[in-house]
Amino acid sequence: MEAVPLPPWRTPPKHAPRRPLSQELIVEKGLGILDAEGLDAVSMRRIAQELGTGPASLYAHVANKEELLELIFEQVIGEVEVPAPEPERGLDQLREIAWRMYRVLHAHADIARVPMANIPRGPNALRLAEGMLAIMLAAGLPPQVAAWALDRLYLYVMSDVYEGSLYAAKLRASGKDQSAFFEEILRPLQAYYLSLPGESFPAISANIDSLMTGSGDERFEFGLEIFLRGLETYRS
């Protein structure tokens, strides 16, 4: 079928020029792929295809995939707001930041995998580390305690979010809704616990309901509370 000519009174459409290739555009496209399909789908070749260019052209802006993932993580962690230290409520501020990290990272698939065994060094990661460390020092924690607590709190949030992303990937692959998916996992586990001989496993047998209850958010909050209460004992 031939194209219908545009009426003479109609303003011809103008095609928007393609954005020039840049590090910002590459990171933006990589983050979009990660959010939609997960970290394993992100590659230089895939981003080049999405941008309509060859992989070689990307290397003028990003050294390799490792740097690309660091830049994507930097973009994500930059979404976490860090307040100025308030000494009288320092641990409450840490709690708030941990929850912000938890929610921001959960919104971006399995991005929490990137900083595992790889210390983030970008400006946004440093801003977050500086802010958390300053809050702990202002709250009266000794420098060594604050330094190690920064590392442990960061690891706690990242590992919890990463495990959650693994479950999320399994959930997507199953094609089930969340309730049915977890029911399928937990029901056989509960039945197995119930089958254990009480004389050999008295603690488990007597506390099955307690072991099986609690959402991911509730368990994260519990672990965070244990951490913060422990930090409280170090305050001068």
The predicted pLDDT at position 109 comes to 87
Using an 8 Å Cβ cutoff, are 164 and 110 in contact? no
Band (140; pLDDT cuts 50, 70, 90): very high
pLDDT band at 154 (very low <50, low <70, confident <90, very high): very high
Report the CATH architecture of 23-62. Orthogonal Bundle (1.10)
Distance CA(215)–CA(186), nearest Å, equals: 12
Confidence (pLDDT) at 33: 96
Phi–psi pair at 235, nearest 5 degrees: -70, 140
- Give the alpha-carbon dihedral of 71, 75, 76, 81, to 10 degrees: 130
Cα of first residue to Cα of last residue in the chain, in angstroms, is: 81
Residue 46 has pLDDT above 90, yes or no: yes
* Residue tagged 């702990």 (tokens): 136
The residue ranges of every structural domain in the chain are: 23-62, 77-232
CA distances from 110 to 61, 65, 146, 164 (A): 24, 16, 27, 8
State which fold the 77-232 domain adopts.
Tetracycline Repressor; domain 2 (1.10.357)
Mean pLDDT of all residues in 137-149:
97
Which tens digit of pLDDT belongs to each residue from 76-127?
999 999 999 999 999 999 999 999 999 999 999 899 999 988 887 899 999 9
- pLDDT tens, position by position, 18-43: 778 999 999 999 999 999 999 999 99
Q: Find the radius of gyration of the CA atoms of the chain.
A: 24
